[in-house]
Amino acid sequence: MKVVMVGAGYVGLVSGACFAEFGTDVVVVDVAAEKIEALKQGRMPIYERGLEKLVGDNVADGRLTFTTDLEAAVAGADAVFLAVGTPTRRGDGHADLSYVYAAAEQVAKAAQGPLVIVTKSTVPVGTGREVQKIVRRVRPDLEIDVASNPEFLREGNAIGDFMRPDRVVIGVDSDRALNVLKRLYRPLYLIETPIVATSIESAELIKYASNAFLAVKITFINQMADLCEKAGADVHDVARGMGLDGRIGRKFLHPGPGYGGSCFPKDTLALARSAQELGAPVTIVEETIAANEARKAAMADRVIAACGGSVAGKTVAVLGLTFKPETDDMRDAPSLVVVPKLIEAGAKIRGYDPQPHYAKQVLPQEVFFAETALEAAQEADAVVLLTEWNEFRALPPRKLKAAMKGSVAVDLRNAWEPAAMRECGFSYSSIGRI
């Protein structure tokens, strides 16, 4: 089989490489010529564990190629996946579908025979029908099916998630599209991955409903953490006691500075907007969005309070800037709210992240980027742990303390051991525990 992946981003590149690993011929197409050029030279445009080797192996085996030439790529393809961005549209919170629609039109124009256009991008319910209309308008002469195959991989564990997913969701309205997708996912079917075949509308909603549910769960435990602080309880005990209930589950009950990243913020907004328009508002998601925004800003206030009510003229070391560990992605990262607020309040920021490539492009210019965590801590009055990379967990508190001028530690991920931090002389605070 031959597959085209339109978009060489976090989803397109990983999915393309994984399909190639399954034994399929894959061409990954992107309009960003510099990305394609880098990939042709064996350089990854993003950081994702294991990706360089997976791509290298499949390129070497001749199953994976990269191009900017969509027309040539589409020739002879059985399926073309759209894995382009669906960012928040300016002004109204809706998903910006212009990249999806443009890509669908380009693919339809380039098609030479029957094929399936599969939306892998996260899109609001109804998008697949619009794609169908575009395709029928552009190519009434061809049998082009449209399908929805939302992606659930998590950055930081993307390859593992693609290769061993909890489920594969396939939204179709023709047997031909279903059969093509089933053949492509056969290696997962063989390891007994549940394949959920639904209508296109249901598949689109499964993705938004899943992300919104997880965002609600995170926000719930974040608010429980605030309550624990007031009540003198420990949120980890509460989360464990709750999570052992099989109906609740233990995952996503870890408190923090508010969710960020390339999916939850924009997907919750887009779901809320399309639900309002369809006349069935999901108010619980609207509340979650507002609570999460307020939480990110409140994290800067926590740091200021821990520093005695002011950070003016103080140096704050911020460890971890990406939205989560094991990625370089900065989209909607809590650091984008916390760091500017601290700078506005007069702090000097010494930041460190193991993957600072995009952080350097999007954080304020005043931020000094250190090469190591201990270098960031040098002469700092306070240290803030914002993203829980493993190397921060392993950082000996005594060494951290010795590098600093002051003794304030604000752990927004509960990654450090309170007793060990206090023993080393830190004035230590964390989330939802005394």
Ligand X SMILES: NC(=O)c1ccc[n+]([C@@H]2O[C@H](COP(=O)([O-])OP(=O)(O)OC[C@H]3O[C@@H](n4cnc5c(N)ncnc54)[C@H](O)[C@@H]3O)[C@@H](O)[C@H]2O)c1
| Identity of the residue, 65 or 86, whose beta carbon is nearer to ligand X in the bound complex | 86
Tell me the closest approach of the beta carbon of residue 377 to ligand X, in angstroms. 30
Distances (CA, A) of 199 to 137, 166, 176, 196, 344: 22, 19, 14, 10, 49
Tell me the closest approach of the beta carbon of residue 412 to ligand X, in angstroms. 22
CA atoms within 13 A on the CB side of 269: 21
- Interface residue list for ligand X (CB under 6 A): 6-12, 29-32, 35, 83-86, 99, 102-103, 106, 121-122, 151, 153, 155, 262-263
Tell me the closest approach of the beta carbon of residue 418 to ligand X, in angstroms. 32
| Identity of the residue, 64 or 347, whose beta carbon is nearer to ligand X in the bound complex | 64
Handedness of CA 151, 20, 116, 178 (dihedral sign): negative
| Identity of the residue, 273 or 314, whose beta carbon is nearer to ligand X in the bound complex | 273
Q: Which residues pair with 82 in a beta bridge?
A: 6, 119
- Cα 68 to its chain centre, rounded Å, is 25
Tell me the closest approach of the beta carbon of residue 292 to ligand X, in angstroms. 17
6: enclosing H helix or E strand: strand 2-6
Tell me the closest approach of the beta carbon of residue 336 to ligand X, in angstroms. 16
Q: Are 386 and 318 in contact (CB under 8 A)?
A: yes
| Identity of the residue, 43 or 398, whose beta carbon is nearer to ligand X in the bound complex | 43
Q: Which residues pair with 25 in a beta bridge?
A: 2
Residue with tokens 């996260």: 122
CA 74/CA 113 separation, integer angstroms: 10
Task: Sort 366 into a burial class: Cβ within 10 Å, 0-12 / 13-18 / 19+.
Answer: exposed
| Identity of the residue, 78 or 151, whose beta carbon is nearer to ligand X in the bound complex | 151
5: enclosing H helix or E strand: strand 2-6
Q: Which residues pair with 385 in a beta bridge?
A: 319, 411
Residue with tokens 């094929």: 115
| Identity of the residue, 127 or 219, whose beta carbon is nearer to ligand X in the bound complex | 127
- Residue closest to ligand X, measured at CB: 9
Tell me the closest approach of the beta carbon of residue 230 to ligand X, in angstroms. 34
- Cα 175 to its chain centre, rounded Å, is 32
CA 182/CA 162 separation, integer angstroms: 15
The residues that are catalytic are 263
